[in-house]
Structure 1
Amino acid sequence: MSEEPKGEVTRGARALVVYPNMRGRGDLDPDARLEEAKGLALAIGLVVADAIAIPIREPRAGTLFGEGQIQNILVACELNEAELVIVDGSLSAIQQRNLEEKLGRKVIDRTGLILEIFGERAATAEGRLQVELAHLDYQAGRLVRSWTHLERQRGGFGFLGGPGETQIEADRRMIRDRMAKIRRELEQVRRTRGLHRERREKAPWPVIALVGYTNAGKSTLFNRLTGAEVMAQDLLFATLDPTMRAIRLPGVEKAILSDTVGFISDLPTQLVAAFRATLEEVTAADVIVHVRDIANPDTEAQKRQVLDVLADLGVLTGQEDEDEGERLAIPIIEVWNKWDLLGPAHAEELRKAAEQREGETVVPLSALTGMGCEHLLDVVGAKLTVGSKLYSFVLPAADGQRIAFLHARGDVVSEEAAGEGPEGPELRLQVRLTERELGRFNAL
């Protein structure tokens, strides 16, 4: 069969999800990968008609799948009335084109699907720039039938919805010029973000970053702890742009909680690079809260994916120690979320496992019900104040910024008048501070 793909694919279209199961690929098992791929399709408003895994011993250069396998996919499409085929893997331009000709349907791969989701969800100017750059990078080497996203105001980049596909071949020079312009704009965004981060480091508030696999419950926990109304749905990539809110902690007057984009296995390389600036927020955190969906059968594999990304960001030092294993550059608290979904026996088994974890801080909780959230705040507060030492400072009473910093970031043991100084009345303060906070104080 060699006809052109049929028409425009829109939201609500029926899709067949196909996972090419190649040996040694990824940490998730085929069933978990299929479930994740179905979640990606649902996140963009598609109807998953069916999902199948196809074992591949030797990938075909022109089509990825063998002829017999392609016929099986075609039969599944006909039986399920699927208008779209989603291949949960990476397709070259020629493979995508050949599969579309043989199946007579639109075919997109994992990268294209994730880019479409990101295109719809990015809310800030920076997020939209990052997604557009990633999409252009992805499309630059492909036979592009539609480049209408530069003309549209909606999110998304042409796989779904929009004014319809046209047979327009993208001008490569225009793509390069547009990418160069976006990179310049993003560089300005990074410089601005860096200035904001420097200001925050001088400001009297620690930063706590929520990280985790997509759909682990980070935004639900963020809303629970801050009283905010950040989008929190049972969808992959419900959060794309970092959101920050102030919270109070035991022993810490004020802290900033940051919600970040969810991690995922096989994240397209274009997006890893494009979202670097967003994830840089994690590297400036005082404490990282790693939120895990402990009820998910693949929670351990998801944890490895998250730690791999954190290692790439430099959050893990990568230095091995015989007794401690891999040392952490930033303290990490592991939250075992969705505890309410566990049966009693499973919960008791995990509770014992958590207690036996040496050198790790584990907090079981349910962001949905609130169980364990108060304990998490206690643990975070303790992390922020661990290792503090007592210091004595004599400051001008008029130095409001530095005095406020000591009250907010340290434990002020005593404060008394110290007589007159060169700049007027002075105060003597005895304050417990960590080395990191002392360094920030000295930089003020």
Structure 2
Amino acid sequence: MTDVSRIDAVFDLDGLLTPEERDWQQRARTFARERILPVIDRDFEQAHFRRELIGELGAAGFLGMHLQAYGCAGAGAVSYGLACLELEAGDSGWRTFVSVQGSLAMSAIAKYGSEEQKQQWLPRMATGDAVGCFALTEPQGGSDPAAMRTVARRDGDDWVLDGDKRWIGLASIADVAVVWARVDDPAYGEGARAVRGFLVPTSTPGFAATPIAGKLSMRASVQCDVSLEAVRLPADAILPGARGLSGPFGCLNEARYGIVWGAMGAARSCLEAAIERSTSREVFGRPIGAAQLTQAKLADMFVELEKGILLALHLGRLKERGALTPAQISVGKLNSVREALAIAHQARTILGGDGITDAFPVMRHAANLESVRTYEGTDEIHQLILGRALTDLDAF
């Protein structure tokens, strides 16, 4: 029995899923094992993003899979979550790619774009023929998007954008960027409502994306600094349905939902490695898995993994009913990433010194999860969201 089969056997998740959901999960698991795992250690070591997998992800239906029409699969929220879990069991970078493409860039166009914008971009993005990025975070802003400095001004019939963005996933390989900027035209909103979204083809003069070097996490993924210098766009580049920060936050919540599931995939991979090592390595004349302390560690990791998956499943069912709230998403994001990191750290102790090598995926997952913990809202941001929901007092 393989280690993931041991995990599946002890806790019968399949009994809570539909045949369609199980099929999506198996397809994603097969993709991760056949296309990601054989190359991910080398790619992580060499900081290499394997672009040829983009079209394969599109052909498999994973890009924008939760969206309807325009070539998207129209899968349910739980199916999408299970796909995120399996892809992140391969590597967080590939679940991140699916999230940036589908939950951020494609969702922004699907939620807020005109019909022309949807027809222009979504079918190509669903196949992977076009790549999108989501440019919200700024060097000084971080968790405070209301302090946005990127501005859009009218010049005749055109828009002109100036500003800087940072930690923008996929920007250097993207064909289109969803850029959020503060407009200075009262006709387009005042105060917080003045934040608007724009579709910026990355070939537009003045748009520049530079991959961030020196990363010790998410090394098989692409994150960039973005510079916008007098980027001139036609009037119809604006997303007509997005007004104010509720626009980008609506997309961020889609991505946060995927993380709730995805982080549990990384955790499961770490637990699998720990189980395998505990049964194959012998110390003092017996497998280390026969020691009570080791079994206690495995049991604790397993319990937190299954609690996290059950929470993700509950949130998925709420999402499918249209009843999922931002505070509930914060519960999931905070719990999943925090517990996934704890599982990774505990698994490393079972692996001993070899656990810091690429013979096992645990240190790679632990490093990646440090990034996942920060993006789409830090622990502290989600704690404050939940604190506000519990007290009705704003501590931001």
Same fold flag (TM > 0.5): no
Instruction: Choose between structure 1 and 2 for higher RCO, CA contacts under 8 A separated by at least 6 residues.
Output: 2
Question: TM-score scaled to structure 1, two decimals?
Answer: 0.21
* Higher strand content, 1 or 2: 1
TM-score by length of 2: 0.22
Structure with higher Rg: it is 1
